[in-house]
């Protein structure tokens, strides 16, 4: 299924914003994964949330993650599925690491195929132990379109989206593997996101249990075989952790 982006939506969401605007979105496996990851990660800055030089910033649409595999896949999707090429990457470095920002910037630029001027390297929070990446586009139109026409309507689009890929995206973003107890856990405090996870697992006939973990709800999947066969992880690190 393709979501046609007609002139009414363009007028509603863009307001003459010169950013790249996809004319349609194919609701295929890759887009399903991207939406799932964004559902779990939900990294974005709404339009007007930051003011620079007296001017409100554009909205940012993207994800924040430590795994290069996830960053590469989302970046590729922005280009191939949404037709977006004006992409930036922020690189968050642990404060105890000694390195030259210019060197890392050039390495990241080559690794992901991003112009060096679109790569920003900075030292992250004191708790950061690994290098993290934020890949995004300054595109208010795309942010509003995804948020209003896809994210909010996921329950209505369940028959259109690939449930397995949607759920894999959420798992790649919010999932952890408990090796000791051999289970996969999805933890979130957003009821809307948790409802989506439950709908996906029920649709795939995968049993799960729920419990409260402080201010968050944790969904545990003990059917590792069912998870691997129907969902799995995008990252080799998590995928190998599931195997007995």
Q: What is the pLDDT of residues 76-106, one digit of tens each?
A: 999 999 999 999 999 999 988 777 889 999 9
- Decide: 75 and 136 in contact? Cβ < 8 Å: no
Statement: residue 49 has pLDDT above 70: no
Top-tier CATH class for 162-234: alpha beta
Q: What is the DSSP letter of 147?
A: I
pLDDT digits (tens, 9 = 90+) for 103-154: 999 999 999 999 999 999 998 888 888 899 999 998 888 888 888 888 999 9
Q: Taking the CB of residue 164, how many other CB atoms lie within 10 A of it?
A: 19
Q: What is the pLDDT of residue 46?
A: 62
146 CB-near residues (< 8 Å, 6+ apart): 35, 38, 61
Which residue ranges does the chain devote to CATH 3.10.28.10? 162-234
Statement: residue 170 has pLDDT above 90: yes
Q: What is the DSSP letter of 148?
A: I
Q: Taking the CB of residue 118, how many other CB atoms lie within 10 A of it?
A: 16
Q: pTM for the whole thing?
A: 0.86
């Amino acid at each position: 299924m393709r979501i046609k982006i007609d002139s009414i939506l363009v007028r509603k969401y863009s307001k003459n914003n010169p950013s790249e605007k996809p004319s349609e979105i194919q609701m295929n496996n890759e887009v399903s994964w991207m939406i799932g990851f964004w559902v779990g990660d939900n990294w974005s800055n709404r339009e007007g949330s930051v003011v620079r030089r007296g001017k409100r910033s554009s909205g940012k649409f993207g994800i924040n993650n430590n795994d290069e595999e996830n960053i590469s896949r989302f970046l590729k999707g922005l280009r191939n599925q949404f037709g977006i090429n004006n992409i930036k990457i922020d690189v968050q470095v642990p404060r105890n690491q000694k390195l030259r920002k210019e060197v890392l910037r050039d390495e990241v630029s080559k690794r992901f195929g991003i112009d060096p001027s679109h790569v920003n390297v900075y030292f992250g929070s004191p708790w950061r132990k690994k290098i993290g990446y934020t890949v995004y586009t300054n595109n208010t139109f795309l942010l509003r379109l995804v948020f209003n026409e896809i994210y909010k309507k996921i329950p209505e689009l369940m028959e259109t989206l690939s449930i397995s890929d949607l759920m894999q995206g959420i798992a790649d973003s919010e999932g952890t593997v408990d090796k000791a107890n051999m289970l996969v856990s999805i933890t979130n405090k957003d009821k809307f996101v948790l409802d989506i996870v439950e709908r996906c697992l029920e649709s795939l006939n995968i049993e799960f249990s729920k419990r409260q973990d402080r201010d968050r709800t944790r969904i545990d999947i003990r059917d590792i075989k069912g998870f691997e066969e129907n969902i799995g992880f995008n990252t080799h690190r998590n995928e190998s952790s599931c195997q007995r």
